[in-house]
Amino acid sequence: MIQVAYVSCAVPAFAPDDIAEILLTSRANNTARGVTGLLLYRGGDIMQVLEGEEPVIRRLLDTIQRDTRHRSIIKLFEKAITQRDFKDWSMGFRDLNAEGATYLEGYSEFLAPDFRFADMKESTALKLLKSFKERMR
């Protein structure tokens, strides 16, 4: 299995109904394909981690790359895994616009005005994603 995290920009920024539709479709598809993960969204910025069998994740990433609703896709990390970090979620989700999350480790760095996704280290990205996972239980 592999785990991949990426960031991208929504084009244009998603409305709540758009997000609901994406999640409904993604969760059904991910369950059928054995994919787990988490999606964070804030004002058009997306951070997502995906886990699953390597060929499945590669096909999904190809689909994401071709999706015209995304631009500026940057892979934060990719690694082989033997155990999932998000095993119970076909696609966990948190809209950072909807509620404050400043108490989460790594959150302030994610929102700093001069923060660049491309500069995010694997450990920082995974720390942020895992913090959301723990708070969402």
Domain count, the chain: 1
State the Cα–Cα distance between residues 47 and 74, nearest whole angstrom: 10
| pLDDT of 55 strictly over 90 | yes
State the Cα–Cα distance between residues 133 and 137, nearest whole angstrom: 7
The answer to whether 104 and 128 are in contact (CB under 8 A) is yes
Per-residue pLDDT, 74: 85
Query: What percentage of the chain exceeds 70 in pLDDT?
Result: 66
Minimum mean pLDDT range among 30-34, 63-67, 83-87, 116-120: 116-120
18 by DSSP, 3-state: which?
A: helix
Mean pLDDT of 6-19: 82
Q: Which domain holds residue 23?
A: 2-136
The answer to whether 81 and 51 are in contact (CB under 8 A) is yes
Mean pLDDT of 66-72: 86
Which 3-state string (H, E, C) describes the chain? CEEEEEEEEECCCCCHHHHHHHHHHHHHHHHHHCCEEEEEEECCEEEEEEEECHHHHHHHHHHHHHCCCEEEEEEEEEEECCCCCCCCCCCEEEECCCCCCCCCCCHHHHHCCCCCHHHCCHHHHHHHHHHHHHHHC
The CATH number assigned to the domain holding 87 equals 3.30.70.100
